[in-house]
Structure 1
């Protein structure tokens, strides 16, 4: 049976300002540090992606850029990344549809998105064998730069609620 790994990352800490529309909010200085740390942690934990889906919002693109730099600095190959307007406003079903469209040769997929969708998807996918404490935590939402790890047995196209094992949640210090 084919095994896949889905890593759901909430963007790093963004600036809160009325000077720009939400889609154009940049990362704050602490968010830049968070994103760099996430890239190093993904590499160190063996969760470097081989494909990325990233929301088109500025803060998610900046998060991915810094994660990517840290991953490649740690020796991971640079994966292809699809930046999508659909991820900006995506609900749980929309994100699941995007995951189901990923090519089968992708083993580890990183999604860089927004709350509450990333935590809702993690909670929805968590099925038998999931870490109960982690599942309880994602059900109440996750902070910026937090990333959850789900193991999926079977093809991406059959990804469904309750069909994954939620094995970890990594929250920045």
Structure 2
């Protein structure tokens, strides 16, 4: 049975929402750019090179993804449903990932990212969930379509 790795990454620190006409337009702050680059370094050091990426359509998630500086040509799917949530809909997106993908990176927002991580590994995150640029890594045996809430995750690692 194939081991799959799901990397959940909350976007880096974004600009104040009061400064933008719509929330989806908010860019990263200078700290956000630095933190996203550090998250990318952590992923590379951990040997977590994704085969595919699912990313929210928001400016801040796109910028977070750019700052990760992933190696090679990694296919990216920008999906508005990650921006709007909820975690059940995002889990459904993951279940439809191509069978050839062993490591999937999902770049999104709270509360969806933290809720999804908690669905997969209950009580593994601290009370506040993932901080900005926080990463939760879930490993399980099986296919993406078999991924269920509460129970299939064999291993969970969190950063931030």
SS in 2 for 1:30: helix
Distance apart, 1:48 and its partner CA: 1.4
Q: Does 1:147 align with 2:135?
A: yes
Q: Deviation string for 1:51-89 (max 9, x for gaps)? A: 00000000000000111x2x33xxxx2311001111100
Match of 2:79 in 1: 84
Match of 2:156 in 1: 167
Match of 2:99 in 1: 104
TM-score normalised by structure 1 residue count: 0.87
Match of 2:144 in 1: 156
Deviates further, 6-15 or 16-25 = 16-25
SS in 2 for 1:13: coil
SS in 1 for 2:99: coil
TM-score normalised by structure 2 residue count: 0.94
Contact 2:56 2:80 in 1 (8 A): yes
Q: Runs of 5+ in structure 2 lacking a partner?
A: none
Q: Runs of 5+ in structure 1 lacking a partner?
A: none
CA RMSD of aligned residues (A): 1.4
SS in 2 for 1:87: helix
Q: Does 1:125 align with 2:120?
A: yes
Counterparts of 1:56 and 1:124 in 2: how far apart (Å)?
23
Counterparts of 1:107 and 1:86 in 2: how far apart (Å)?
22
Counterparts of 1:36 and 1:169 in 2: how far apart (Å)?
17
Match of 2:56 in 1: 55
Contact 1:122 1:166 in 2 (8 A): no
SS in 1 for 2:39: helix
